[in-house]
Structure 1
Amino acid sequence: MILSSQCSYASLPKYSKKLKENVAQDYLNKGISLEGLDIRYNIRSKSTLRQWIIQYTKGKKNKSHEPEVSIVNTKKTTLEERIEIVKYCLDHNITCKEASEKFNLKYSQLYSWIQKYKEHGEDGLIDGRGKGKPQSIMTPEEELNARIKVLEERNKYLEMENEVLKKEEEIERQLMKEKSGKKHRTKRSNH
């Protein structure tokens, strides 16, 4: 157990404000994923990267840097609404900042939709929370990994089912032994 007097925060890395801004700008403006930022900046904590992006988009940045972002609560949208909003942005060639204000959306959310739409079309805007990515936008490697996961889960289920059947057989044998033991005792007691 580490005593509190032994804890030292001096060993934790300190990151400059400029580095944090660069990370957020790469995410928002260049569409670099958290994994890509992890590799580019050698920062292993995705939660740290997310926090920097959130702080940046909430205006806790140097105001001289673009894009200026307004604070907006998350808004629930349907697939049709997301498609309509993204098409409007692309057709009218407006910035994410202008569109986020017009549609009362978070800048980062709108930016993400546009990137997904550009890469995968309308299927990229499907809300897959809790369901994973739609198969239509998976890379061949992601499809294989998903298939492997399904097979592993199936294998796990069959192994558990097999264990239950073995246990059931064991219980039946035990009951049969107990039953036959009672018969022998009753026969002996009757003699």
Structure 2
Amino acid sequence: MGIGIPKGGSNRKWDKEDKLRIVKRYLNEGIGRIALAKEENISGGMLYIWIQKYLDEGEQGLVNNKKKDNHYAAIHTSKTLSEVDRLRLIVAKQEVEIERLKKGYLVKGAGANKEFVITKDVSLK
């Protein structure tokens, strides 16, 4: 049995109502956290985080408000980006690339087919 999701699969998105239902089951029915997590097909760690957020922030703590942002995409897509901001993004992207090269990784392919190759024995000169 493998760990994680299969290649090409995607993570399940839990909405606030599902999270609230599961957390309330934990709090009201006296089910153990690990047993409930297995029953609901989620990790015990994820359930623990939901419980803590609910206890700290109430229902609002279970709202999905995480936005995935690719800051580098703005270089290519934003027409309203100021020249200074555009240059800052370019420099940040180059700094990431330099750190990757220092650690000895090359990139083969592009987009979804991108893979990182270790270059321990390969000369970059």
Range of TM-score over shorter length: 0.3 to 0.5
Higher strand share: 2
Higher helix share: 1
> How high is the TM-score relative to the length of structure 1?
0.30
